[in-house]
Structure 1
Amino acid sequence: MIEAAMIWNEPNNKSHWDPEIDPDWRLFAEMAIAAGQAIKAENPTLPRVLGGISPIDPSFIRNLAERGVLENVDVVAVHGFPLDWNLWQIHEWPARIDEIRAVTDKPIWVTEVGISTFGAEEVQVWGLKRTAELLIGEVPRIHWYSLYDLPRAWGATTRHREAEGSSYYRHFYMGLLREDGSPKPALEEFAKHAPEMGLCQWFHFEDHRLDDAVAWMKRLGVKHLRTGLSWADSFRPNALDWFDRQMEALADFDVTVTFCFTPEHRGIAPHHTSPPQIKEEFAEFCATMIRRYAGSQAAPTPTGRVLEAL
């Protein structure tokens, strides 16, 4: 069921990692290395993915490489939103991928790409078709963000909020389905490109959309899904019950599970973007989730055969 484990989300975006506490990403690198090693110790055959970077920045990858992070991951991921937030045009996608290829020999996945319908729903149709033309065959994994619009009552996971002006409100209109579950015009276009194009859908704690999302994804022919398990949520009452329900519901998909979000009481600062006080606690969360949902495996034998741990 679990295809890969992703370590954090957009670590070079201040909405997901605090650069005031960790301006050179030394603490992030130490945490990512600990998590990568813990995941490998539990399941050495499971690909470890560096959290998708946004913006696409080769200097950030070089920094992490110099700190030893790339020795502890198997895939590098990028995120791009050229019609909404990035300062480049959609046709530049291959060039942006090449910028990262120039600084690492790791496989590159696009684990979030999307287009808001904030201005017009027809823009998303054109943009999805053009994105498919540019990226299918260029990278081995593409995850369209997202299936659902973000409910306005929830708020977007960003530290900028209304200071972004209209850009903030684009967060709420990234779905192929509207908040009420009705389809947008781009849904039909997406179906033409599944399963080559997967989905990224974040599920909130006890998300009421889970079962409907599964039904829609099966109807669309989705094979690859990216979602998350929140370290912060793991401290909620009945957290494991919810994690079990979510992962059981997603059992028919190849899932890239993202581990992120610092619990307020375990961060250097009381915020989900903070580096943890003790990096090993995040690593242990990752290991526990892998053990629970991906299983532990022994190291490969000399013939390459993997023996399951007793």
Structure 2
Amino acid sequence: MIEAAMIWNEPNNKSHWDPEVDPDWRRFAEMAILAADAIGAENPAITRVLGGISPIDPGFMSRMRAFGVLDHVDAVAVHGFPLDWNLWQIHEWPQRIAEIQAVTDLPVWVSEVGISTFGAEEVQAWGLERSADLLIGRAPRIHWYSLYDLPRAWEATTRHREAEGSSYYRHFYMGLLREDDTPKPAFELFRRHAPQMGLVQWFHFEDHRLDQAVRRMKELGVRHLRTGLSWADSYRPGALAWFDRQMEALAEFEVTVTFCFTPEHRGLMPHHTSAPLVPDEFAGFCAEMIRRYAPPVVRLDAAAERRLAAV
């Protein structure tokens, strides 16, 4: 079920990692190495991916290489939103991937690419087709962000604030489906790209959309899904029951699971973006999740298979 484990999400974006607590990312690098090694120790077959960076910054990737992080992962990832937040145009996608390929020999995944319908739903439909043309064949894994719009009653996990207008509200309109489960024009267009492009869908704790999301992804023919398991949520009452339900529901997909979010009481600062007090604790959470949802497959030799068949 789990094909890959992603270590954090957008570590070079202050929406997800506090640069005031860790200004040179040294603490992040230590934590990422410990997590990668813990994942590999539990199941060497799992692809370990450095959390997708946003913005796409070869300087940050070079820093991770200098700290030794890239020696402990199997792939790196980037996120790009050129029609919404990035200061580059959509046709520059090949160039942006090449910038990262220039500083590492590891495969470069595009673990988030998406377009908001804040301005017009037709823009998303055009952008999906153009993104597919530019990315399919250039990245070994592509995940479109996202399946559902973010419910308006929730908050966006972002450094942007409501007072900033479009920069904030664009987060709420990234789905192929509206909040009420009705499809946007890009929904049907995505169907023909599903074999080559996966989806991203973050599920909040006890998310009411889980079952309908599974139905919709099967309808689209989705094979690859990226989602998350929150270290912070693991301290909630009933956390393991929710994690079990979520992962069981997603069992038919090839899942990239993203491990991230610091519990407030385990951070240097009481916030989910903080570096942890004890980096080994995050590594322990990653190991526990792999042990629970992606234990290694024991393959029997031919003689053992014959003995088992005879029982």
Band of TM-score, shorter chain = over 0.9
Match of 1:17 in 2: 17
Instruction: Report the CA distance between 1:297 and its aligned residue.
Output: 6.0
Deviates more, 1:13-22 or 1:152-161: 152-161
Instruction: Report the CA distance between 1:166 and its aligned residue.
Output: 1.4
User: Number of residue pairs matched?
Assistant: 300
Instruction: Report the CA distance between 1:192 and its aligned residue.
Output: 1.5
Give identity over the alignment, percent: 79
SS at the partner of 2:100?
helix
Structure 1 segment 206-217 matched on structure 2, within 5 A: 206-217=206-217
Match of 1:264 in 2: 264
- Mapped to 2, the partners of 1:216 and 1:174 lie a distance apart of 16
- Mapped to 2, the partners of 1:297 and 1:68 lie a distance apart of 29
- Mapped to 2, the partners of 1:82 and 1:165 lie a distance apart of 18
> Does the Cα contact within 8 Å between 1:112 and 1:142 map onto a contact in 2?
yes
Task: Map Cα deviations across residues 137-192 of structure 1 (whole Å, 9 max, x no partner).
Answer: 11111000000000011110012222533110000000000011110011011112
- Mapped to 2, the partners of 1:291 and 1:130 lie a distance apart of 39
Q: Does 1:39 align with 2:30?
A: no
Q: Does 1:132 align with 2:117?
A: no
Kindly provide the amino acid, as one letter, of the partner of residue 149 in structure 1. Answer: D
SS at the partner of 2:51?
strand
Match of 1:308 in 2: none
Question: CA RMSD, aligned part only?
Answer: 1.3
Q: TM-score, with normalisation over the residues of structure 1?
A: 0.95
> Does the Cα contact within 8 Å between 2:149 and 2:173 map onto a contact in 1?
yes
Match of 1:62 in 2: 62
- Mapped to 2, the partners of 1:240 and 1:120 lie a distance apart of 40
Structure 1 segment 246-257 matched on structure 2, within 5 A: 246-257=246-257
Match of 1:287 in 2: 287
Match of 1:81 in 2: 81
> Does the Cα contact within 8 Å between 2:160 and 2:167 map onto a contact in 1?
no
SS at the partner of 1:96?
helix
- Mapped to 1, the partners of 2:155 and 2:175 lie a distance apart of 15
- Mapped to 2, the partners of 1:179 and 1:296 lie a distance apart of 37
SS at the partner of 1:111?
strand
Q: Which of structure 1's runs of 4+ aligned residues deviate more than 4 A?
A: none
Alignment gaps of 5+ in structure 1: 299-310
Q: TM-score, with normalisation over the residues of structure 2?
A: 0.95
> Does the Cα contact within 8 Å between 1:44 and 1:297 map onto a contact in 2?
no
- Mapped to 2, the partners of 1:247 and 1:239 lie a distance apart of 12
Kindly provide the amino acid, as one letter, of the partner of residue 105 in structure 2. Answer: D
- Mapped to 2, the partners of 1:281 and 1:160 lie a distance apart of 29
> Which structure has the bigger radius of gyration?
2
Structure 1 segment 232-247 matched on structure 2, within 5 A: 232-247=232-247
Q: Does 1:228 align with 2:222?
A: no
Task: Map Cα deviations across residues 226-266 of structure 1 (whole Å, 9 max, x no partner).
Answer: 00000000000000000000000000000000000000000
Kindly provide the amino acid, as one letter, of the partner of residue 234 in structure 2. Answer: S
Task: Map Cα deviations across residues 81-118 of structure 1 (whole Å, 9 max, x no partner).
Answer: 00000000000000000000000000011000000000
Kindly provide the amino acid, as one letter, of the partner of residue 138 in structure 2. Answer: E
> Does the Cα contact within 8 Å between 2:29 and 2:67 map onto a contact in 1?
yes
Q: Does 1:179 align with 2:169?
A: no
> Does the Cα contact within 8 Å between 2:132 and 2:193 map onto a contact in 1?
yes
Alignment gaps of 5+ in structure 2: 299-311
> Does the Cα contact within 8 Å between 2:226 and 2:256 map onto a contact in 1?
yes
- Mapped to 2, the partners of 1:225 and 1:50 lie a distance apart of 17
